[in-house]
Amino acid sequence: MTDQYQVYLDPSSNIIYSSYYIKGLYEVFGKNNVTFSSHYFQELDKKNEAWSYDSYMALVIKNRETLCKIIIDFGDDSPIRENAYRWCDLYAKVNINPEKLPEQFKTKILSISPGFGIKMWTSIEALYHSFFNLLKLRFSPQVSLKNYFRSYLSQIKQLRIEDFTRPTTAELPNRDYVFFVSSLWPHPNCITGTNRYRKMYIESCRKQAIDFEGGFWVNDRNHPQFSEFKDLTISKRYLLSDYIAKTKKSLFVFNTPAVHNCHGWKLGQFLAMGKAIISTPFQNALPEDLVHSKNIHFVSDRNEMDVAVEKLLHDENYRKKLEEGAKDYCLKHVTPSAVILKICNKLNIDLR
């Protein structure tokens, strides 16, 4: 039945952030049924909506009888883009704060799990799409040509989704090895929350008999927390392939909401890898709550952090329980195809 549908993508899409969902569309509808077209997006007028390029992608799913207009909002912040909301039939969003969601935006909204940048095209395919999408945009993309092509180039440099979901024997968790690398963010909520929680996690790991690798990567010594975090900073930059391989080897991982209290790429990556996750509580919704001691371990303060690190270090059964729970949650809610199928189900698109 999927062959009766055609999917049309907005050629102005930020490719690196849209890649996860384009991959899902390929998996559900078939690659040959997914194309770029400017025809259906004239009324959207993204150029008149601030930050739209970095916030959402637009697409249309069409057959002979119906045409469904969809927004996938992958932005870090929680506000709804009003122009996009008016245009669409369904507004699928990663970062929804239920307490801040105005009543008028609840009708079309759908909570989806966080994705992350992946490689879906070869270099030749990326070059092809970048050129022909530029033609479809009449050589007038939303951003500079440099940033336009950078998005396509960034997609090439990512890993394929299989590199996250299929660990090799060499990448299985190592006893007593923990890897964690993060940037020292300058945003207000990161200074008061994110950075401090990550510091707390690193310090808890260092208290234990753990072979810890990582720390905070800093490129601005004028960062207001640089002096406080100096002993935890690193200068080494990791290749993405090394970063993912080391994360797979890590006995467990740590997640905390980041810029704008968002669900970041880390959470999606950790779930895809089936990791035992320690996390601080979320402010934003998920399509289904992650449950403490089932598929995640929540902590709120330093004492709980110390207890969690010690438990996951020594309790193999509990750690494996969290790993299996994360894998199950990922298959149900997080994989590219799972996200697209949820969108189709919400719109009553029959894929049988």
Cα gap 78→81, rounded to integer Å: 9
Q: Where are the beta strands (DSSP E) in the chain?
A: 6-9, 34-36, 56-62, 67-73, 90-93, 109-111, 177-183, 211-217, 233-234, 253-255, 277-279, 297-298
Q: Which among 2-6, 10-14, 181-185 has the top mean pLDDT?
A: 10-14
Cα gap 117→269, rounded to integer Å: 10
Token pair for residue 305? 């952090």
**pLDDT tens string 206-262:** 999 999 999 998 877 778 887 888 899 998 889 999 999 999 999 999 999 988 899
pLDDT at 267: 98
* pLDDT above 90: residue 2: no
Give 58's strand partners: 71
- Please report which confidence band the pLDDT of residue 50 belongs to, taking 50, 70 and 90 as the band edges: confident
Please answer whether residues 248 and 273 qualify as being in contact, where contact means their C-beta atoms are separated by less than 8 angstroms.
yes
pLDDT at 171: 64
Q: Out of 82-91, 150-159, 187-196, which region has the weakest mean confidence (pLDDT)? A: 187-196
Q: Could you tell me the residue ranges of all domains in the chain?
A: 2-161+335-346, 165-334
If DSSP codes are grouped into helix, strand and coil, which group holds residue 190?
Answer: helix
Closest residue by Cα to residue 87 from 51, 142, 24, 42 = 42
Token pair for residue 255? 């997640």
- The arithmetic mean of pLDDT across residues 75-86, rounded, is 95
Closest residue by Cα to residue 313 from 232, 207, 215 = 207
Cα gap 94→76, rounded to integer Å: 8
CATH architecture group of domain 165-334: 3-Layer(aba) Sandwich (3.40)
Number of other CB atoms surrounding residue 318 within 10 Å: 14
Predicted TM-score (pTM) of this structure: 0.95
Q: What is each CA distance from 288 to 28, 37, 216, 254, 262, in whole angstroms?
A: 21, 33, 31, 20, 16
Please answer whether residues 71 and 58 qualify as being in contact, where contact means their C-beta atoms are separated by less than 8 angstroms.
yes
pLDDT at 220: 76
pLDDT at 168: 60
Number of other CB atoms surrounding residue 188 within 10 Å: 10
- The arithmetic mean of pLDDT across residues 197-212, rounded, is 96
Cα gap 288→325, rounded to integer Å: 13
Cα gap 8→38, rounded to integer Å: 9
